[in-house]
Amino acid sequence: MKIIPAIDIIEGKCVRLSQGDYAQKKIYNESPLEVAKDFENHGIKQLHLVDLDGAKSNEIVNWRVLYEIATNTSLDIDFGGGIKSTKSLKIAFENGAKQVTGGTIAAKNPELFQAWLDAYGADKIILGADAFNGRVAVAGWKEQTEQDLIGFIRDYQLKGVQNVICTDISKDGMLNGAANLLYQQILEELPNINLIASGGVTNIQDLEDLRAIGCDGAIIGKAIYENKITLKELELYVD
């Protein structure tokens, strides 16, 4: 199972939110690059980088942070937040993203998301499937749709999606465990999807549980920043 630390960016700084609430912002480091280098120094190979300013706007905002990390580390970066146009998609790739995650665009403009999937391939385009009470949420989690989460993922799997990052918003940043039952249900119904769990990971046992369920990867954020999981511990899980 891939171990993927997360860096969330607001105004160029490394922050974390609770349940996607921008009013509950906590700044952990003024330098995302410093954080990324620390990850790299502990053997981490992948990074989940989220432009929270972009998520609330209609375009990528913190592309300079992406460029800085991509050019000063060897981390494979998947980038999300504000990717709502082909222009922003190209900016992300041109500034060092290895993969791009699209959530809002997949829900609101499926034709464009499909065009990206066809043009760049399933290894480059990740489906962002974030949900609250089983319904897909978009626009920086500020808007809940009527789309059923599993149906949403299934539809895109049939269209060629292979990789899905799924966040149960109620779990995100709360440090009370991951949405194991949700992920188990997704993988029982869609066993061939590469499911990356995001939100709620609090300790090493959570990682063990997600691996046992069959998740392809686990994104870890606040647990690292609050020292619930140390980077030294994560070294044991990195190939």
Q: CA-based diameter of the chain, in Å?
A: 43
Cα-Cα-Cα-Cα torsion 67, 72, 76, 82, nearest 10 degrees, comes to: -20
Classify 128 as helix, strand or coil: strand
Q: Which residues pair with 168 in a beta bridge?
A: 131
The secondary element (H helix, E strand) that includes residue 57 is none
* DSSP state, residue 239: -
Output the pLDDT for position 56. 84
pLDDT one-digit tens code per residue, 129-156: 988 877 887 755 566 767 899 999 999 9
DSSP 133: T
> Distance (Å, rounded) from C-alpha 88 to C-alpha 116?
12
Chain mean position to CA 174 = 16
pTM: 0.92
Give the C-alpha separation, 64 to 51, whole Å.
Answer: 11
Torsion of CA 221, 224, 227, 229, to 10 degrees: 110
For the domain spanning 2-237, the CATH number is 3.20.20.70
Residues 22-40 have a mean pLDDT of: 91
- Listed residue (174, 231, 219) closest to 195, CA to CA: 219
65 contacts 9 by C-beta, under 8 angstroms: yes
Q: Give the start-to-end residue ranges of the domains of the chain.
A: 2-237
Rounded to whole angstroms, how far apart are CA atoms 88 and 28? 27
pLDDT confidence tier of residue 24, bands split at 50, 70 and 90? confident
**Options 130, 172, 209, 216, the catalytic residue:** 130
Residue 82: its pLDDT value, please? 86
User: What is the token pair recorded at 134?
Assistant: 């089983």
- Mean pLDDT value across residues 83-88: 94
Is 172 considered catalytic here?
no
> How many other C-beta atoms are found inside a 10 Å radius of the C-beta of residue 81?
27
216 as an active site residue: the answer is no
